[in-house]
Copies of this chain bind each other. A is one copy, B any other.
């Protein structure tokens, strides 16, 4: 895949290769080097009750975690395929507006360990926590924890 080295190339990569992300009207909202926030249109992601569709929340949060890992690796010049392995999502409240999902490494994870592992073994795993935030107010309508695996593609794995 093309190099993802910043939020612009990440957003372009997602929108050009994942039709559902285009349908969700996804865009990168914020990135500070540790947390990546993706946003999606409220109108494009409604369900039959007029609030956000659960599948959209899960998709946006999963993509936020996936994108965060791609960015961290891309910044270091490491090419890798990143896959989600499993995830758990808890829906707490409806979202009535634009959806924002903010992803960060889980508290017991370390990017240093992840990067040294993929450098040494060609693959590494990391758990990402994501929160779906309401556009207004401080509530957290959904929380997701997802485990990802990254497999280096720019050099053969020593395994």
Chain A residues with CB under 8 Å of chain B are 1, 13-14, 17-21, 23-24, 43-49, 53-56, 58-60, 62-63, 81, 83-91
A81 to B48, CA, bound (A): 10
- Which residues of chain B come closer than 8 Å to A63, judged between CB atoms? 55
A58 to B83, CA, bound (A): 14
A53 to B17, CA, bound (A): 10
Counting from the closest, the 4 A-B pairs by CB-CB distance are: A55-B59, A23-B23, A17-B48, A86-B90
Q: Please give the count of copies of this chain that the complex contains.
A: 2
A46 to B20, CA, bound (A): 8
* Chain B residue nearest to A44 in the complex (CB): B19
Q: Tell me if B81 and A91 are in contact (CB < 8 A).
A: no
**Residue among B13, B46, B58, B87 making CB contact with A59, cutoff 8 Å:** B58
Q: List 6 A-B contacts (CB under 8 A).
A: A17-B46, A20-B23, A20-B53, A54-B84, A55-B63, A86-B90
A81 to B17, CA, bound (A): 35
A59 to B18, CA, bound (A): 15
* Chain B residue nearest to A47 in the complex (CB): B18
